[in-house]
Structure 1
């Protein structure tokens, strides 16, 4: 079992990170929150969850243990797989997810693409006694970056949405309309907005 991987971040997209450790590049599926935590950094330590299947060996990486714990809780719910859990963690911060579960905010969960009322209720029922509200406010690190042009942001956002399982044409349409309305958004903000639309 791999607990964490620490090394040079050689590649980083909103859905994937490649961390080089002792000459081996590990490709890790990440959420938008983890992307935000490591964006602009050359080195990092990602906590890992391994999925070993007959046809694949997948690694999921997290910026901290709290996000990984939430991921593990989510995949313990019937009908929520690793990619679905990653989409949930890309749609809201760990603090927002904990708050939604603790306050039984079904509407906040059903706002995430793919979560219907039944799945939201299952998440709330299964996890209500497993999460605790914290007084700490999560810092918003999504500061607009003027150095990135809209085309690059649109391209990265579409690529991330496709990696999360959405159709390319629909993703492009959503991203273009979001950036037309608000061209100053960061990649993370565009993806979060698109996840609510798709």
Structure 2
């Protein structure tokens, strides 16, 4: 029903964000809401999915359309509800999830909270062959750390990447900005993190 919502980001907490659209505040439940921290009080676009049941209506939001698509596919898996699906989306990228499903990697899938071996097998059964488009990787945009960062800046760069992951950014998002981040002459972790956040906006 709602493909996306675009408005001013008014508030956020550990479960949801509030987007103001012409005076109406939409409560949008997100994976890692603090990823939107840098956009607080700014115009923000959120890809949304309205989950409707007889006893509830919940609006879920995502920073990338790909995350929303993964969420929708997970809801089609028997035994996976919106809470589980949101948790999975918050902890993996569509690419990594697709690789695990296509390779039938139970060990990877069972690392998510609430996902046991039975549920992992169900995800593989229901989604194998339906997520393989996410397995494509633009390797020319993903360079190794060693090839772009000097030995002096190596530690700061790795610490910055870890900090961005802690803030909730996915591996795919970080991989996309890594080449530009590596090209900078910044040597401190704080400066690299700040610049990384700007690139991710």
Q: Verify same fold: TM over 0.5.
A: yes
**Equivalent residues in 2 for 1:185-196, closer than 5 Å:** 186-188=166-168
Deviation of residue 26 (structure 1)? 0.4
Mapped partners of 1:49, 1:142: distance in 2: 30
Q: Which has the higher helix share?
A: 2
Relative contact order (alpha carbons < 8 A, sep ≥ 6): 1 or 2 greater? Answer: 1
CA contact (8 A) 1:142 1:188 kept: no
Report the CA distance shift for 1:15/1:93 in structure 2 as closer, same or farther (over 3 A).
Answer: farther
Q: Any residues of structure 2 matched to 1:1-198 within 5 Å, and which? A: 1-32=1-32, 35-36=34-35, 38-41=36-39, 42-132=42-132, 133-136=135-138, 144=163, 186-188=166-168
Q: CA deviation at 1:135?
A: 0.9
Question: Normalising to structure 2: TM-score of the pair?
Answer: 0.65
* Structure showing greater Rg: 2
Runs of 5+ unmatched residues, structure 2: 143-157, 170-201
Superposed CA deviations along residues 113-150 of structure 1, whole A, max 9, x for unmatched, are: 110101000101111111121213798986638xxxxx
TM-score, normalised to structure 1's length?
0.66
CA root-mean-square deviation: 2.6
* Structure 1, gaps ≥5 residues long: 146-184, 190-198
What does the per-residue CA deviation read over 1:134-185, in whole Å, with 9 as the maximum and x for residues that have no partner? 213798986638xxxxxxxxxxxxxxxxxxxxxxxxxxxxxxxxxxxxxxx8
Aligned residues: 148
